[in-house]
């Protein structure tokens, strides 16, 4: 620990994303994810930010880029008519697992308002954790709001008029001078961060001194480096921001000064450029396919030998299970045990995605009925309804279908897909991929030069 530098609390942010979107839209509020992140960073060092949703649905796909821009982990959940609590369960399980880690967060911020989260909050507090809730007014359980250490209303962070919450102590401002519109573009993001820091301090009833504002800027954005702005000291930096119309600097006796915000920061962070894909060579096509699956479908693809070993052993284990069958969460635990037996260090999220891909591929049926399971149902008792070989083939077909549906402009190149799915371009692998493409009946795909 560096002497003289206060130790920040470790903060974890857990978001029930679909619930937030639904309640936000009902209330007529704009979507401002940055406002939530800034408010959470005021509490300390954000060590984890995770959001739960079915990102493949039309209602959520439009928000994917916003979550990716802010580096929020996106947990994929399968939706269904009876699955409204899937996010609640997964969020609660992951949160409790975090409390048992050696470097567990000190503060948990839960973006949700359901009464179902009350037991989770109670358990966290028994573990000595501070819990902060965030939600939309009118959709919050009164009991949940009462048992949290603090509850923040999204409405207060983002008023219905679409503007970010103003600095409470700010005086009425005159229109920003013309210089604000001609400021160095390289400084604009840093000046916006300066304004956000001033507003964050005001929300906490703290004076925006030069030193505390600089510290808050680094807290809101750990990547901020004053030297990268071209200024050697903080005072010349804020004076440049004043000339650009972002702040007003009140010089005090001595070296210190206070700051006031004169304008609102940019409402949304810069959106990164859309991914570009190339298919001129096998290597380019394979990398593009991986990006399509990761960025659009959020489906991690393990090496073929690992996938085959895990699924094969899972089917063998399920054949040995009693006639009562197993649930999908129990099946995921089996997969975890199989991975450990094989000495494979596979993240739990990747194992969960394998199981979900098997579900999407229609490899399981409800025990006793044979009806195909079409979404992740944690309470249902299920059993395989296809052979192990068919399960592997249907999984691979699901990957190809995901590429074809998520990126219609991408050509389906058998050799590149064989490398992606089977880590091989031998004749047998290419032929298997050709069958997958034929069975998928994708119609006419875009023309593409033959891969070199």
CATH of 10-157, one of 3.40.50.1820, 1.10.10.10, 3.40.50.1010, 3.90.280.10: 3.40.50.1010
Give me the CATH code for the 282-440 domain, please.
Answer: 1.20.120.1790
Give the pLDDT confidence score for residue 120 in this predicted structure.
Answer: 94
Buried b (16+ CB within 10 A) or exposed e, 281-303: bbebbbbbbeebbeebbbbbbbe
Tell me which residue of 43, 204, 41, 52 sits closest to 130, measured CA to CA: 43
Q: pLDDT tens across 361-386, in order?
A: 889 988 877 788 877 677 788 889 99
pLDDT value at residue 79: 53
In terms of C-beta density within 10 A (0-12 exposed, 13-18 middle, 19 or more buried), how is residue 309 classed? middle
In 250-387, alpha helices (H): 282-292, 304-320, 328-341, 348-360
Q: Do domains 10-157 and 282-440 have the same CATH topology?
A: no
Any idea where the domains of the chain sit in the sequence? 10-157, 178-261, 282-440
- Give the pairing type, strands 247-251 and 257-261: antiparallel
Q: pTM value? A: 0.49
The pLDDT assigned to 290 comes to 82
In angstroms, the CA 136 to CA 24 distance is 7
**Helix, coil or strand: residue 230:** coil
Instruction: Give me the long-range contacts of 269-272 (CB less than 8 A, separation at least 24).
Output: 269/34, 269/69, 269/70, 270/69, 270/189, 271/65, 271/66, 271/69, 272/65, 272/68, 272/69
- According to the model, what pLDDT value does residue 360 have? 85
- Position 221 scores a pLDDT of 77
Task: Kindly give the parts of the chain with pLDDT less than 50.
Answer: 1-5, 80-83, 160-182, 269-273, 443-452
pLDDT in tens, 76-95: 876 544 445 578 888 999 99
Separation of alpha carbons 192 and 197, rounded Å: 9
């Amino acid at each position: 620990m560096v002497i003289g530098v206060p130790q920040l609390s470790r903060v974890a942010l857990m978001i029930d994303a679909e619930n937030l979107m639904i309640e936000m839209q009902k209330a007529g509020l704009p979507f401002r994810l940055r406002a939530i992140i800034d408010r959470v960073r005021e509490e300390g060092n954000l060590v984890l930010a995770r959001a739960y949703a079915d990102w493949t649905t039309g209602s959520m796909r439009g928000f994917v880029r916003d979550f990716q821009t802010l580096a929020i982990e996106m947990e994929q959940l399968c939706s269904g008519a009876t699955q409204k609590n899937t996010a609640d369960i997964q969020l609660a399980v992951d949160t409790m697992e975090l409390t048992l880690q050696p470097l567990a967060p000190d503060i948990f911020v839960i973006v949700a308002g359901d009464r179902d989260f009350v037991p989770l909050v109670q358990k966290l507090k028994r573990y000595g954790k501070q819990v902060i809730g965030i939600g939309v007014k009118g959709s919050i359980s009164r009991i949940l709001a009462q048992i949290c250490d603090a509850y923040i209303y999204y409405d207060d962070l983002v008023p219905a008029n679409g503007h970010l919450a103003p600095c409470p102590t700010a005086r009425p401002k005159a229109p920003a001078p013309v210089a604000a519109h001609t400021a160095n573009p390289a400084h604009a993001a840093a000046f916006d961060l300066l304004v956000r820091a001033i507003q964050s301090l005001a929300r906490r009833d703290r004076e925006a001194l030069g030193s505390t504002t600089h510290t808050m800027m680094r807290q809101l954005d750990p990547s901020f480096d004053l030297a990268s702005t071209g200024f050697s000291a903080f005072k010349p930096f804020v004076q440049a921001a004043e000339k650009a119309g972002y702040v007003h600097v009140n010089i005090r006796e001595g070296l210190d000064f206070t700051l006031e915000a004169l304008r609102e920061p940019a409402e949304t962070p810069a959106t990164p450029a859309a991914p570009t894909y190339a298919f001129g060579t096998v290597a380019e096509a394979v990398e593009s396919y991986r990006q399509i699956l990761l960025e659009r479908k959020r489906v991690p693809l393990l090496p073929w030998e690992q996938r085959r070993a895990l699924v094969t052993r899972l089917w063998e284990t399920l054949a040995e299970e009693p006639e009562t069958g197993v649930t999908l969460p129990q099946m995921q635990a089996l997969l975890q045990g199989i991975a450990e037996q094989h000495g494979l260090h596979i993240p739990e999220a990747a194992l969960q995605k394998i199981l979900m891909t098997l579900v999407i591929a229609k490899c399981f049926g409800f025990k006793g009925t044979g009806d195909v399971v079409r979404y992740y149902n944690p309470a249902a008792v299920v059993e395989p309804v296809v052979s192990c070989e068919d399960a592997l083939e249907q999984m691979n077909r699901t990957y190809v279908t995901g590429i074809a549906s998520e990126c219609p402009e991408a050509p389906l190149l058998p050799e590149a897909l064989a490398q992606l799915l089977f880590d091989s371009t031998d004749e047998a692998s290419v032929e298997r991929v050709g069958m997958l493409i034929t069975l998928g009946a994708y119609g006419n795909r875009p023309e593409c030069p033959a891969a070199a």
